[in-house]
Structure 1
Amino acid sequence: MQQQIALGKQPHIIVGTPGRLMDHLTNTKGFSLSMLKYLVKKLQRACLRNPVKIEAAQKYSTVDTLKQHYRFVAAKNKDCFHVYILIQMSGCTSMVFTRTCDQTRLLSLLLRDRNVKAVFISGQMTQANRLESLNKFKSGQYNVLVCTDVAGRGLDIPSVDMVIKYDIPTNPKIGLYIFHTLKKHAFCYSTK
């Protein structure tokens, strides 16, 4: 009865065994999966007819040693959380990908203000300045490189420990390319 009352309040997330879920579908008045957006693990076999499975093509898959993390944070906390992650991983080399040239500059200034050694590359810089920033990162003078998604397609830096997608990629192929050769950590942020 307590579960029926809880389900009547239309929770955002329901965790349960397939058998219990089927029992509520059969016996709990008004409970259905008609508003369901996501169904996790093997429950789709018990509840859905002709489900569609979507997965990335094998050529876009990542290496087995990569640990991918996705963080859903409030927009007002995004910068704070980003700085926190980079400070916690301060011994690592990190690349941060943003959507715009202005974001690369502002984010690197924010990080420097918090004593994180960050340098940026953007399309608004001269080629000489871009190479200078890249060389500072490769030499270890700076351990964080902030750049746009577009710049990420042309960079090949095998010694990077962590990649952070500051924004969800608008083009999924760009995001997958960035994570393709990375071996350790990858973070992606989304805001509400």
Structure 2
Amino acid sequence: MSLDTVVEDIRDEARARAEEIRADAEAEADEIVEQAEADAEETIEEAKRAAERTVEQEREQKLSSAKLEAKQMRLEARRDVLEDVRERVEDALASMEGERREELTAALLDAASVEFEDEESVSVYGREDDQDLLADVVADYDGYEVAGVHDCLGGVVVEADESRVRVNNTFDSLLEDVWEDNLRDISNRLFDEEE
């Protein structure tokens, strides 16, 4: 074998080995690129899922916030309506006249008088516009006198100095009691709600 042949064999072997290394490197490079593309695809998919979750959370938060705001607006509107109804009732009580007013005032004084059966001197207070009416109603009770004005819609405040008892039978106090006791029913009727 000649030296040229040996050199040629070594070159052929080196070329073959280089071709094999190049083929392995290309295969490895292809594998790395393929893995990188798969990783990139997974990263993109995860980013899409995260974005969708974020969008869904923001949508839910905005929806929840809008529902809460709507509920608050509804409650505020209901409060306004209830206030308006109460004001109308107060106006109706304040403007009540004639026999009906006299009957109610007398009934309230009669109910209060139970507390003052043993008293010799009882003071009765009422609305300024009702002073003449009170004088007529009080005339039926011994020891009772109209003692002054009380800021109210009507009715009576009765007290006796001896016993330090004071009974507030004004339209205002009765309205307050009725209003508080029946507010749920009033609201349900106004807004057509079932219990």
Which structure has the bigger radius of gyration? 2
Q: Which has the higher helix share?
A: 2
Q: Structure 2 length as normaliser, TM-score?
A: 0.28
Q: Structure 1 length as normaliser, TM-score?
A: 0.28
